[in-house]
Structure 1
Amino acid sequence: MKRRLLTLMLLFATACGTTSLTPNTALPLPTPQITISTPLPSDHEGTAAAFLSAWQRGDYAGMYALLSPLSQAAISLEDFTKRHQSVAEAMTQTSVETKVLSSLAQGTDAQVSYSVTFHTAIVGDISALQPIIMPLVYANGRWGVSWSDGMILPQLAGGNYLVMDFTRPARANIYDRNGHGLATETNAVALGIVPGKITDEAALLGALSSLLGLRRDYIQGLYFGAQPDWYIPVGEASADDVQSRLSYLSGLGGLQMSTIKTRYYPGGGIAPHVVGYTSFIPEGQLAEYRQRGYRGDERVGLAGVEAWGEQYLAGKAGGTLNIYSPAGAFVATLAQSQPQPSQSITLTIDRDLQQAAQQALGDMRGAIVVMNPSTGEVLAMASNPTYDPNLFDPTNPNSVNLPNVLNDPHRPLINRATQGAYPPGSVFKIATMGAALDSGIFHAGDHYTCTGYWSELGPNFVKKDWTVDVDLPPHGDITLAKALTVSCNPYFWHIGLTLYNADPGILPNGARAYGLGPATGIGQVAEADGVIPDAEWKQKNIGEPWVVGDAVNMATGQGFVLTTPLQIARMVTAVANGGTLYRPNLVLSISPPGGPPTYTFKPEEVGHLPTSPENLSVIQESMRNVTRRMAEGGVYTGGTAWTAFKGLSIPLAGKTGTAEDPGAPGGLPHAWFAGYTLKNDPNHPDIAMAVLVENIGEGAEFAAPIFRRVVEVYFFGRPYTLYPWESSFGVTAAPTETPNPFAPAETGTPPSP
């Protein structure tokens, strides 16, 4: 603006300057009056600033709209956009920063000089060495940018282009707490069967069973009814394991082996819902990953710890950003950087305990969570049905089975331990009893007479105890302490009514204080909230007021109440340790190759049960009695799970739960058992655990035996007690049974404490 004013002043001074007169000189002409009918444009700086601002936003259409008509005629919007995007993608640009340095205008032409800095994911910041000139021209009533590709970077003038030569470190491994690989970069062998080529079925089944740890009848069932020339995937094994028995395997007719360089998950996936899986970057996320420094053809973590720990497991790529001519000739190196090493992740998971939990569920849908009560570490997290994460590698011939996983109506990719929200049934009575005692309205020795029926809301709202359905006598006169042990529903309905009348918020608030409802914040895997309903929740979600019947149902873990198995496991963990609520954790450490850990787990307390030590000891003793038989007045009575734990030398406490499924009216209920051990063995720290089995029956009949199975394997190294429904370990009783040659012995006495 100052330059234009100076120019006008000089013109005016010249026009109005004094003229010398001589006798021979004609009289001067009148001084001309300068008038400007059309003002000279004065907003070229605004156009330049708008152009650069649009560039910083990635608004290429906005930039293109500011080009001069001649520039728009020379390049289409599509090509203009592609040119900028290709540069940004090649350099792994995360953002661009520009700054106007100076400007100069003369008539309908102007120039603006500016600096540009590209922030990139791989090679750091890239800046032009000298200011870049932006020519502008005034035409058709506006200023427009006379664009050339050298305005992106001078080195790109004339059509030069960029190519990044990536150097990416190998993906780091995931280990269990004892150093066993759960996800490794290695050679593996995909194993399958072509039925029509089988020559010795017994030998083939025996070899695959031994190699993969699968039952022979299971393998046989995979190809039952298949066409002779079909390829039937069976599983994967490490190349080392196959090599050690290669000569024998190679001679088996019908066995097909394919070696692959892959992300290998042993055992068909140990804790797959925790570890997760890797695969190629989804099409819709390519731009995002390229901004993060990926070339675009890598396999990345898409679930579980593989996804959560991507920045550690993948490391950081290095690269050399080169300039090439339109003919493909190397011009120069623009920038370069060195890769940063990947870091391995060690989980809190115990491989052997995890496998025991997965096997304990068998073919049942459900979840098991095992925690260390003293730290909040998750030692096992099993969800069933499960899946084989090896199938997500497209180079694996067995990946032909992936559509079966993706389309399975039972949704095996869902982590039921953290994403499944279920009515907790009677395991919720732990929180109800805590709220009752904390309120001061109830005391451990308060008596109540249970007749098997409950009618405190009148004759039109009569509820019956579980004892009625199984033809057992009512509990009679019992204390609150015993009511938890025998799971007396009428007593707890009475508690729900009484607390509601005192203050409708007592029970919901008490349940939340026990860690139920909101997600636990575990962070390393996907997690859903549960539901602890109250007046506000019901009005918002149902559009109805909170009524006494809601509180009565809630007291026994029914109605609108939903919890995840992880929430229940954390609740009993807090009961076991004296009241501390820990944030559950799955990651023990993160370490670079050959270096000290960059992260080491430390227990994180996030709350404390509001229950006094005296009242908490009452709850603990009541849960202890759930698992044993007691003599009262010469009469033996037992807790709801004492038969399931009969003869077990490991002392433990727990609570059964049988929860009606609102999603399956009239169907079988969910079975729960949650508790903790009390062995006090320095070589085997005590554990807390929650077991859920979907739509199967009573908690004492199904979940409690599964709890026992996991405890036996943890403390004794193998199971000693068959399930009521088993004929041998891992084999469901049936008229025709398939023997399991690799199952542990069915007889024997477990070690004494």
Structure 2
Amino acid sequence: MQHRLQPLALGVALLTAAGALAACNGGVPIFSSATPSLPAPQVTIIAGQDPNEVAGQFLATWNERAFDAMYAQLSTTSQSAISAEDFAARYEDFRRKAAITQVRAEILATQVNSPNAEVSTRISYASGVAGEFSREVTLPLVMEGDAWRITWDDGLILPELKGGGRLVLEADIPARGTIYDRYGDPLAYESETLSLGIVPGEIVDEESLLRELSRLLLMNTETIRLKYASALPDWYVPLGEVSREEVGKRYGVLSGMGGIRISSNEGRTYYGGGIASHVIGYVAQVPKEQLDEYLAKGYLGDELVGVQGLESWGESFLAGTHGGTLYVVAADGRVLSTLAQRTSQPAHDIYTTLDRSLQARVERYAFGHLTGAAVALSRDTGEVLAMVSSPGFDSNLFNLGNFNSQYLLPELLNDQRVPLLNRAAQGQYALGSVFKLITIGGALQSGAYTAASTYTCDGYFRELPGLTLEDWTVAKDKPPHGTLNLVQGLMRSCNPFFWHIGLDLFNRDPWIVPNMARGYGLGKLTGIGVIEEEPGFIPDPAWKVEQGEPWLAGDAVNMAIGQVLNVTPLQVADFAAALGNGGTLYRPQLVRSIQHGEDEPVFTFAPEIRGTLPLSAENLAVIQEGMRGVTNAPGGTARPTFYGWPAVAGKTGTAQDLPRLPHAWFTGYTFLQRSDKPDIAIAVIVENTGEGSEYAAPIFRRILEIYFYGSPQTRYDWESAVGGPTVTPTLPGTETP
């Protein structure tokens, strides 16, 4: 719990109520909290107004923060004593210091003794920190010409301020709540953070230092070495951050190693250099454009608040309810009065669905320096177990007390790879041949195709007049597929077969495939909440007409293999889970529970069904058979990668992104039915690298190895170029899922 005195300049409080002016006596409210904020009143001094009208108008303009209009109502003597700027500043300071969120007033009585008058009022103030209080305030008026004007002093803001009194707000701020993974391991928490860096010329035992840093920072030793490889001997090279708890008893060893530099600060700490940063988000100073909003909620304005991810979504839980005591203090420091007091309420902790160990290891071992994303879901519930976007970022860098921020934060913000983009939920990509899972669904549900339907592929597609398209086997100098049934066509990812299906379905009903895609949950938000996501884009005949063009056969042919649409990896993982669990589309979720200590949770996870795949059980079984063939049958496009993994089904995809190299896709699910490790569904995309079978499928397998075994079990050739892990294979005789 923090107890501190409120600084003087904190910003402007947001007024949430405005009122209707009532020119009458007897305790009638001037402001109504149910009335929305109105434009600032334009005051015109009208001859013949009675004092009640003038006083009521003055108080109404105060609640509207129309200080120029208020100032226009002051008497000539009052205006000569204070400038309009200083007048407005007095009211703003009062609102800021007292965290005022609402002002209400009512007229109690009026006395007129021309050319003077007095209007007695009761003004009620609502403080976002200290609660409510009220004061009776008498407004003196003087007749100038034929109009009543206010004779003003500081006591009209609050009687105790007359004569030099000042406000002091002692805030009572609860400690920020912790964000945990599904097993209670912390991801974001209050701690002493240690900023680590290297001075290359001071390194004594490089290998020992690299091993120690690799363990703490969850980085490969070669990745760390590359960071300072080109640095001069006396340069400071920032590496990352860890909490004091993570270092533990090794602090003495680490601090005594030559070449290491350690700086510390207290505050929000993100485990492992900010794993799951796109999900967890970060805290930072209150954004200027949101200052009024936060002040209205009882914030002082100088706190760190969540501005992205769970930190932002869960701010009301993680911050608790601020409390405090509002005093009026005399010039000599004596407390003149206690205006209001409210006790703070403790923060709640958020338990996520994430598996910290899985998330950290996927971030460390799956992508290296490749750009892409991966999402792992619990196949039968929709819980997000891991969400990785590469490159990622270190949430600790947004803590400006972090010594490394001065070096690494500008690099992060100017990185052309856009690390702050959550590619897993906001990246929108063509789906390539993974979309054949939708096309085959449309074909089967149309009734025009069955599992036994055949097509003879010679490597070319010539059904569009004047156009010949080549299968992927031609470019790879492989023999054509020959005659295939529908399951084999999916398993071998035969493009001519699916171009044929796309054209045939177009001729039957051009809406079959677009509607099937939407039935798989594409082209719309998954409803994950907590984090920002994009809906992707599924074109259709109506959209094409809106562009001033007809939906053509070529559009349908391209769509059949996923080349004229956009999806997110999150959407793909979600429909892959549905294909594996029997057809249920669950809403992906990131929050498992919200609670304070041992109190009853205010939220507990429960699976939410958001739809059902538009497939019969028989047709779903056909697609599942084809996906199993991709990973296990002779000729399956990913069979070499998944040798020894019989309980995995999936689909490769290669999405064109000309003139760059294509995006590599792989998605699928497991069906082991183990009680200790629930089946999962995964989607992987690697940007601009090559084919799905060569890049995305190996990463998919790597995630399975980490999930089921805790670490990578195999190493792929391409990893030498991107910083792959040191692999400790499973011992001989270990059961393979």
TM over 0.5: yes
Residue type of the partner of 2:170? D
1:485 counterpart residue number: 491
1:220 counterpart residue number: 225
1:374 counterpart residue number: 380
State the Cα distance separating 1:321 from its structure 2 match. Answer: 0.7
Q: Secondary structure at the match of 2:374?
A: strand
Q: Secondary structure at the match of 1:670?
A: strand
Find out whether 1:152 has 2:148 as its counterpart: no
Distance 1:51 1:443, change over 3 A: farther
Q: Distance in 1 between matches of 2:52 and 2:554?
A: 71
In 1, are the aligned partners of 2:362 and 2:706 still within 8 Å (CA)? no
In 1, are the aligned partners of 2:713 and 2:727 still within 8 Å (CA)? no
In 2, are the aligned partners of 1:447 and 1:477 still within 8 Å (CA)? yes
The superposition leaves residues 121-144 of structure 1 with CA deviations (integer Å, 9 ceiling, x where unpaired) of: 22222222x3x3333444355443
Residue 389 of structure 2, aligned match among 383, 386, 408? 383
State the Cα distance separating 1:731 from its structure 2 match. Answer: 4.2
Distance 1:641 1:158, change over 3 A: same
Residue 556 of structure 1, aligned match among 561, 565, 578? 561
Distance 1:501 1:93, change over 3 A: farther
Q: Secondary structure at the match of 1:396?
A: coil
In 2, are the aligned partners of 1:112 and 1:133 still within 8 Å (CA)? yes
1:660 counterpart residue number: 656
State the Cα distance separating 1:102 from its structure 2 match. Answer: 4.9
1:526 counterpart residue number: 532
In 1, are the aligned partners of 2:23 and 2:52 still within 8 Å (CA)? no
The superposition leaves residues 361-403 of structure 1 with CA deviations (integer Å, 9 ceiling, x where unpaired) of: 1211011100012111000101100112222222221212111
The superposition leaves residues 319-376 of structure 1 with CA deviations (integer Å, 9 ceiling, x where unpaired) of: 0111123555422110011111111111100112112321211211011100012111
State the Cα distance separating 1:597 from its structure 2 match. Answer: 1.6
| Structure 2 length-normalised TM | 0.88
1:475 counterpart residue number: 481
Distance 1:719 1:69, change over 3 A: same
Q: Secondary structure at the match of 1:206?
A: helix
State the Cα distance separating 1:532 from its structure 2 match. Answer: 1.2
Q: Distance in 2 between matches of 1:745 and 1:707?
A: 17
Q: Distance in 2 between matches of 1:497 and 1:339?
A: 66
State the Cα distance separating 1:506 from its structure 2 match. Answer: 2.7
Residue type of the partner of 1:565? P
Q: Secondary structure at the match of 2:717?
A: coil
Residue type of the partner of 1:75? I
State the Cα distance separating 1:251 from its structure 2 match. Answer: 3.1
Q: Distance in 1 between matches of 2:144 and 2:548?
A: 63
Q: Distance in 2 between matches of 1:226 and 1:627?
A: 45
2:268 counterpart residue number: 263
1:397 counterpart residue number: 403
2:641 counterpart residue number: 644
State the Cα distance separating 1:521 from its structure 2 match. Answer: 1.4
Residue type of the partner of 1:126? F
Residue type of the partner of 1:501? N
1:669 counterpart residue number: 662
In 2, are the aligned partners of 1:41 and 1:138 still within 8 Å (CA)? no
State the Cα distance separating 1:79 from its structure 2 match. Answer: 1.6
1:424 counterpart residue number: 431
Find out whether 1:434 has 2:446 as its counterpart: no
1:75 counterpart residue number: 82
The superposition leaves residues 147-199 of structure 1 with CA deviations (integer Å, 9 ceiling, x where unpaired) of: 33322333333443322111111112111111111112112322211222223
Residue type of the partner of 1:553? N
Single out whichever of 42-51 and 251-260 deviates more from structure 2.
Answer: 42-51
Q: Distance in 2 between matches of 1:178 and 1:425?
A: 36
| Structure 1 length-normalised TM | 0.87
2:715 counterpart residue number: 722
2:11 counterpart residue number: none
State the Cα distance separating 1:414 from its structure 2 match. Answer: 1.0
In 2, are the aligned partners of 1:219 and 1:234 still within 8 Å (CA)? yes
Residue type of the partner of 1:382? V
1:355 counterpart residue number: 360
Q: Distance in 2 between matches of 1:510 and 1:142?
A: 74
Equivalences for 1:294-305 in 2 at 5 Å?
Answer: 294-305=299-310
Distance 1:666 1:750, change over 3 A: farther
2:134 counterpart residue number: 127
Give the total of aligned pairs: 693
State the Cα distance separating 1:100 from its structure 2 match. Answer: 4.0
Q: Secondary structure at the match of 2:712?
A: coil
Q: Secondary structure at the match of 2:366?
A: helix
Q: Distance in 1 between matches of 2:618 and 2:460?
A: 31
State the Cα distance separating 1:545 from its structure 2 match. Answer: 4.3
In 2, are the aligned partners of 1:341 and 1:593 still within 8 Å (CA)? no
Q: Unaligned 5+ residue runs, structure 1? A: 4-38, 630-636, 733-739
Q: Distance in 2 between matches of 1:458 and 1:672?
A: 31
In 2, are the aligned partners of 1:450 and 1:491 still within 8 Å (CA)? yes
1:196 counterpart residue number: 201
In 2, are the aligned partners of 1:364 and 1:694 still within 8 Å (CA)? yes
Residue 608 of structure 2, aligned match among 597, 601, 604? 604
Find out whether 1:744 has 2:737 as its counterpart: no
Residue 50 of structure 1, aligned match among 35, 44, 57? 57
Q: Secondary structure at the match of 2:640?
A: coil
State the Cα distance separating 1:254 from its structure 2 match. Answer: 1.8
1:7 counterpart residue number: none
Q: Secondary structure at the match of 2:425?
A: helix
Q: Distance in 2 between matches of 1:429 and 1:206?
A: 45
In 2, are the aligned partners of 1:720 and 1:749 still within 8 Å (CA)? no
State the Cα distance separating 1:689 from its structure 2 match. Answer: 0.6
Q: Secondary structure at the match of 1:700?
A: coil
Residue type of the partner of 1:601? F
Single out whichever of 195-204 and 160-169 deviates more from structure 2.
Answer: 195-204
Equivalences for 1:301-320 in 2 at 5 Å?
Answer: 301-320=306-325
Q: Secondary structure at the match of 1:312?
A: helix
Residue type of the partner of 2:240? G
Residue 100 of structure 2, aligned match among 93, 96, 100? 93
2:337 counterpart residue number: 332
Distance 1:2 1:143, change over 3 A: closer
Q: Secondary structure at the match of 1:431?
A: helix
Distance 1:45 1:231, change over 3 A: same
2:685 counterpart residue number: 692
Q: Distance in 2 between matches of 1:373 and 1:40?
A: 76
2:517 counterpart residue number: 511
Q: Among the aligned pairs, what percent are the same residue? A: 49
Distance 1:468 1:116, change over 3 A: farther
Q: Distance in 2 between matches of 1:207 and 1:352?
A: 19
Distance 1:718 1:147, change over 3 A: same
In 1, are the aligned partners of 2:193 and 2:241 still within 8 Å (CA)? yes
State the Cα distance separating 1:301 from its structure 2 match. Answer: 1.6
State the Cα distance separating 1:743 from its structure 2 match. Answer: 4.5
Q: Secondary structure at the match of 1:186?
A: strand
State the Cα distance separating 1:670 from its structure 2 match. Answer: 0.4
Q: Secondary structure at the match of 1:368?
A: strand
Q: Secondary structure at the match of 2:419?
A: coil
Q: Secondary structure at the match of 1:164?
A: strand
2:628 counterpart residue number: 624
Residue 259 of structure 2, aligned match among 254, 261, 265? 254
Aligned CA RMSD, in angstroms, stands at 2.6
Q: Unaligned 5+ residue runs, structure 2? A: 1-21, 25-45
In 1, are the aligned partners of 2:350 and 2:595 still within 8 Å (CA)? yes
State the Cα distance separating 1:405 from its structure 2 match. Answer: 0.9
Q: Secondary structure at the match of 1:699?
A: coil
State the Cα distance separating 1:75 from its structure 2 match. Answer: 2.4
In 2, are the aligned partners of 1:187 and 1:259 still within 8 Å (CA)? yes
Q: Distance in 2 between matches of 1:644 and 1:550?
A: 33
Q: Distance in 2 between matches of 1:505 and 1:69?
A: 75
In 1, are the aligned partners of 2:196 and 2:240 still within 8 Å (CA)? yes
In 1, are the aligned partners of 2:714 and 2:729 still within 8 Å (CA)? no
In 1, are the aligned partners of 2:222 and 2:723 still within 8 Å (CA)? no
In 2, are the aligned partners of 1:720 and 1:747 still within 8 Å (CA)? no
Distance 1:472 1:102, change over 3 A: farther
Q: Distance in 1 between matches of 2:440 and 2:149?
A: 76
Q: Distance in 2 between matches of 1:145 and 1:576?
A: 75
Residue type of the partner of 1:722? R
